[in-house]
Amino acid sequence: MAFEIIMPKAGIDMSEGQIVKWLKKEGDPVTEGEIILEIMTDKTSMEIEAEKSGVLLKIVHHDGETVPVTTVIGYIGQQGENVDLIPQEEEEPQPVVQQGEEKPLIRMEENSYHVVVIGGGPAGYVAAIRAAQLGAKVAIVEKGTFGGTCLNVGCIPTKAYLKNAEIIENIENAASRGIMLESTKFTVDMDKVMSFKNSVVKKLTSGVEGLLKSNGVDIYKGVGKINRNKNVVVNDKQILKADKVILAGGSKVNRINIPGIESPKVFTSDDILFTTEVPETLAVIGGGVVGIELGQSFASFGSKVVVIEAMDRIIPMIDHEASDLLTQTLRKKGMEIITSARITEIVDKDNRLEIKIDGHDSVFADKALLAIGRVPDTEGIGEVQFEMDRGKIKVDKYMETSVKGIYAPGDVNGLWMLAHTAFRMGEVAAENAVKGNHREANLHSAPSVVYTLPEVAMVGLTEEKAREKYGDVRVGKFQFVANGRALASGDTVGFVKVIADNRYGEILGVHIIGPMAAEIINQASLIVEMEITVDEVVKTIYGHPTYSEALFEACADALGEAIHIPKKKK
């Protein structure tokens, strides 16, 4: 039986190739591995080798012709064999595409996909579902549990713990509101705490898998890596052929090189969510979002918590005033916070940890939590060479990497390591992978939230950054202690701060510390996205009494028109 020579698919985006020159004529003998022709793609020229030994029986397409990939261009067989007797497969008629219409997706064979997604976290599963909604045949490869960091060891588990902290605070404050309990003493059953947390996580992660299946996405469990042909290999065995690849590998716990950091008494932020003990003393290494949230959780459970932060303040990315107020509040609640601290060594002795700090007394603790953030998980890169930036995969505004046809949304690109920004980047990557690059990832109105008690949230520029960029700016501020809803709820710590352009009044940034900050900030994000001015906000009627009125009042203060702020004496 004659062997077909086909136009190879030499890249994700290769749809056709040009035959530059046949190096053999019909009737010439050929040997397996011998170069028999040259082709040209839109990127490079290639030499094609014979895959069988025999005779070049027939050349179907000649020098200079451009033909689609996988098209038969010639036959190799035995001398005298008649290729005209070989049954030809009928080509499916291709739909006619009118000018201006989108090119229809080509039907894919088994184990071949329009899009293969590596990673089932917020960026990955959203990308897979969006691509499927657009009509693509999609596969997703996940090495662990769907939902990524957020659902399994991040946003959701920590919020379950922090809700417990809120309940405990409410019990302690009940008497001040006239609710007299026989006893405010409590104990924390960590087995039940973990059981509740795990039930929430399982419900959400199984929900993600259900959404993928309902959208027709093929699921592969295992480690996915990209090979040199830009296909995806699962567990080093199964190859998934891909037109486009979306690498959404997420992130992993960051580690630092400190002597003694490998002690089993030092938890990572992943580990501590599976511990069934409440340590008597807990040293938190890192005063960022994760460290402060988990630190407050365990402080409410009964641990004596000491936070050790290398910078001059905790959560340094938030507004300076908000960071200062949060520090004061946490200290009042019994947490110790040490800033500008450089750890030199961790010594495990006498069943305790001694954490040595340059220029500071040692901190002694039963356990420590390493919470210095997360770094991109780039295991899925495989054999492909990407342009990188300090361990992060560089992407353009379309979420495409330096390798055409491969996109990298979410934590792997390090642009903004938040679940909600990963959702958006995943959507953008999917639409561009299926329809061609047309949609940009605009993240300037994405909020950041710290779910402490009190909550902290921000969107846009800080006051310092706004002054650097715009010079003179307006700043409006309103304290929750003057908000009726906050007073009635007994939750008055905090403020709303609005930064606006002095020329037009456009709102450049909003910073909130206080009750319902995580909810109010979504309204502020809409304001920033729509480029709304402080004048337009104060023309809006807000419901009363609501926490959101504090945002209204802060905008009015930026104009010097706030009603519920005492007039400043000149």
Active-site amino acid positions: 544
Q: Are 156 and 200 in contact (CB under 8 A)?
A: yes
Spatial distance between the Cα atoms of 454 and 460, rounded to a whole number of angstroms: 20
Give the number of other CB atoms < 10 A from CB of residue 246.
32
Where are the extended beta strands (E) located within 131-253? 138-142, 218-221, 224-226, 232-234, 238-247, 251-253
- Look up tokens 């969510």; give the residue: 273
Q: Are 245 and 232 in contact (CB under 8 A)?
A: yes
Nearest-5° angle of CA 326, CA 330, CA 335?
Answer: 145
Q: Are 22 and 62 in contact (CB under 8 A)?
A: yes
User: Please, where are the H alpha helices in 215-319?
Assistant: 289-301
Spatial distance between the Cα atoms of 63 and 58, rounded to a whole number of angstroms: 13
**Helix (H/G/I), strand (E/B), else coil: 130:** helix
Spatial distance between the Cα atoms of 205 and 122, rounded to a whole number of angstroms: 11
Token code pair at residue 318 = 């938030």
Pairing, β 112-118 against β 238-247: parallel
Spatial distance between the Cα atoms of 135 and 319, rounded to a whole number of angstroms: 44
Give the number of other CB atoms < 10 A from CB of residue 59.
18
Spatial distance between the Cα atoms of 130 and 217, rounded to a whole number of angstroms: 10
Q: Are 345 and 358 in contact (CB under 8 A)?
A: no
**CA nearest 498: which of 438, 558, 570, 432?**
558
Name residue 234's beta-bridge partners: 224, 238
Q: Are 75 and 58 in contact (CB under 8 A)?
A: yes
Spatial distance between the Cα atoms of 522 and 500, rounded to a whole number of angstroms: 17
Cα Rg of the chain (Å, integer): 30
What residues contact residue 440 under an 8 Å CB cut-off, 6+ apart? Answer: 397, 398, 428
Sign of CA dihedral 420, 426, 431, 436: positive
User: Please, where are the H alpha helices in 174-251?
Assistant: 190-214
Q: Are 464 and 320 in contact (CB under 8 A)?
A: yes
Token code pair at residue 379 = 């295991």
